[in-house]
């Protein structure tokens, strides 16, 4: 009934409520007074344009047969976006909730009034089902999270491939970038000395690169590219962030770097590679490159999908509002993400003391991104 009321315009649903209520009473399934009053309230909010997706979900979940949107680590996709497995598990869970409701284990009226004990018990009931084995041995939570992991890795690989293709096209346009042998040799010597000393920046460099000081490559180019690739895609370590592990500053730096996505890196590498040695490469410059980057060079102005937001019309809602604050580019936030990057780039010799691209950086940073975006069976850094 709740889902059916949301499939038609809210004004029509409101008009139909008295007739539906009489029909349900005649069918000896009257539903409760609380259901009808909350239905009228939520439909009125929708009609007035005041309801949010969260309001509607909360009302649906209060029927006692609609799973919570988030259960443990699992987030249910919208019905039209669910995989075959997710649709199966959702249906199985709904059936379980219907059985529990029929047996008196769920009181929807208490859920509708947000009774904390009833709401807590409703969530626990779902979590128990999600973490219990089905007759065929599958555990719903486990198989759903495994599927999500596989989807994420596939999407990440696709993003890697797209970024690598764009980089290769760029490098063809730029032409020859000779290896600065002397700069590379000096950088290799300096990096080994830095890593041999305790603390920053050597500790952060080897953490990002996923290597131990005793296992450093002997070849300067291999060492430099390994560490530079680690700056863009930290390998990480299970020890950091744990009691007795790495310092908080290292955790924060790695977290910032990991928040930089494919688009951001491609924007920065494109600007630096096209600009060549001497190009400004301070964190504020990198943030501006991301802000101004257009991968289609102005050819994709008619593409409306880039910043598409979730459609609230799934529940018959009006637009959530005209507030575009979430579409604004956070330049200061992006600058903060790149601060540890530029600090490490200086240590690598990719940028100089004036935070401008060096010949070593012009050759090496694109090559390091080739390493990062190369096809791999492993998980992203």
Residue 242 has pLDDT above 80, yes or no: no
Residues 80 and 225 in one domain: no
Distance of CA 174 to the CA centre of its chain: 32
Which residue's entry shows tokens 């973490």? 131
* Res. 310 pLDDT band, cuts 50 70 90: very low
130 and 152 share one domain: no
pLDDT-based confidence at 302, cuts 50/70/90? very low
Residue 250 has what pLDDT? 76
Residues 74 and 118 placed together within one structural domain of the fold:
yes
State the total domains in the chain: 2
Give the mean model confidence (pLDDT) for residues 343-368: 97
Tell me which of 143, 173, 208 is where a domain ends: 143
Q: Indicate whether 303 belongs to any domain.
A: no
Please check the confidence at residue 260 and state whether its pLDDT lies above 90. Answer: yes
Work out the pLDDT band at 307, boundaries 50, 70, 90. very low
For residue 96, the enclosing domain spans 2-143
Which range, of 110-124, 244-258, 276-290, 299-313, averages the lowest pLDDT? 299-313
Q: What is the pLDDT of residue 315?
A: 41
Nearest to 228 by CA among 55, 90, 350, 379: 350
Q: Express as a percent the part of the chain with pLDDT over 90.
A: 72
Same domain, 268 and 294: yes
Residues 137 and 152 in one domain: no
List of residues 6+ apart from 21 with CB closer than 8 A:
30, 31, 36
Residues present in the chain in total: 381
Q: How far apart are the first and last CA of the chain?
A: 46
**How distant is the alpha carbon of residue 268 from its chain centre?**
20
339 shares a domain with 192: yes
pLDDT at 295: 82
Distance (Å, whole) CA 360 – CA 221 = 11
Residue bearing the bigger pLDDT, 231 or 29 = 231
**Structural domain includes residue 379:** no
345 lies in the same domain as 277? yes
Provide the pLDDT for residue 278: 97
Q: In terms of domains, do 107 and 162 share one?
A: no
- Do 286 and 357 lie in one domain? The reply is yes
Structure pTM?
A: 0.66
The DSSP line for 272-314 is: HHHH-TT-B-SHHHHHHHHHH--TTTTTTTT-TTTT----GGG
User: Which residues on adjacent β-strands are paired with residue 130?
Assistant: none
Q: Yes or no: say if 337 and 252 are a contact pair by the CB < 8 Å rule.
A: no
Residue with tokens 């863009």: 232
Amino acid 342: pLDDT: 97
Does residue 252 belong to any structural domain of this protein? yes
Angle between helices 220-232 and 359-373 (to 10 degrees): 70
In a domain, 367, yes or no: yes
Q: In the predicted model, is pLDDT for residue 210 greater than 50?
A: yes
Which pairs count as long-range contacts for 48-57, CB under 8 Å and 24+ apart, including other chains? 49/318, 49/319, 51/315, 51/317, 52/312, 52/317, 52/320, 53/310, 53/312, 53/314, 53/315, 53/317, 53/320, 56/6, 56/315, 56/317
Tens digits of residue pLDDT in 132-156: 999 999 999 999 999 999 998 889 8
Q: Which of 78-92, 201-215, 281-295 has the lowest mean pLDDT?
A: 201-215
In this structure, are 224 and 335 located in the same domain? yes
DSSP 35: H
Question: Do the Cβ atoms of 111 and 64 come closer than 8 Å?
Answer: yes
Distances (CA, A) of 305 to 131, 241, 308, 309, 310: 37, 37, 5, 9, 11
Q: What tokens appear for 279 in the block?
A: 């190009």
Average pLDDT over residues 248-261: 84
> In the numeric block, which tokens belong to residue 228?
């530079």
Three-class SS state of 364: helix
């Amino acid at each position: 009934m709740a889902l059916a009321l949301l499939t038609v315009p809210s004004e029509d649903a409101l008009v139909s409520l008295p007739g539906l209520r009489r029909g349900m009473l005649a069918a000896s399934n009257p539903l409760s007074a609380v259901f009808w009053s909350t239905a009228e309230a939520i439909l009125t909010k929708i009609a007035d344009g005041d309801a949010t997706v969260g309001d509607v979900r909360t009302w649906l979940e209060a029927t006692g047969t609609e799973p919570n949107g988030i259960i443990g680590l699992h987030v249910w996709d919208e019905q039209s976006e669910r995989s075959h497995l997710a649709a199966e598990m959702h249906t199985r869970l709904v059936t379980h909730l219907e059985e529990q409701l029929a047996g008196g284990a769920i009181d929807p009226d208490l859920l509708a009034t947000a009774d904390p004990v009833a709401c807590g018990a409703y969530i626990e009931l779902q979590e128990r089902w999600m973490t219990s084995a089905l007759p065929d041995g599958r555990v719903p939570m486990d198989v759903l999270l495994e599927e999500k992991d596989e989807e994420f890795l596939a999407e990440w690989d696709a993003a890697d491939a797209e970024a690598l293709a764009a980089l290769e096209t760029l490098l063809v346009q730029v032409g020859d970038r000779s290896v600065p042998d002397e700069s590379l040799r000096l950088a290799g010597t300096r990096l080994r000395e830095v890593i041999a000393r305790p603390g920053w920046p050597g500790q952060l460099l080897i953490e990002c690169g996923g290597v131990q000081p005793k296992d450093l490559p002997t070849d300067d180019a291999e060492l430099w590219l390994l560490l530079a690739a680690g700056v863009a895609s930290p390998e990480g370590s299970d020890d950091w962030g744990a009691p007795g592990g790495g310092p908080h500053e290292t955790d924060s730096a790695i977290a910032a770097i990991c928040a930089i996505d494919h688009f951001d890196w491609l924007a920065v590498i494109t600007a630096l590679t096209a600009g060549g040695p001497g190009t400004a490469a301070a964190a504020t410059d990198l943030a501006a490159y991301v802000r101004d980057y257009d991968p289609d060079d102005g050819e994709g102005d008619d593409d409306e999908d880039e910043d598409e937001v979730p459609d609230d019309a799934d529940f018959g809602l009006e637009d959530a509002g005209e507030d575009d604050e979430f579409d604004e580019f956070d330049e200061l936030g992006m600058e903060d993400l790149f601060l540890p990057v530029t600090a490490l780039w200086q240590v690598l010799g990719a940028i100089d003391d004036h935070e401008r691209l060096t010949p070593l950086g012009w050759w090496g940073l694109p090559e390091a991104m080739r390493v990062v975006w190369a096809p791999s069976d492993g998980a992203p850094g």
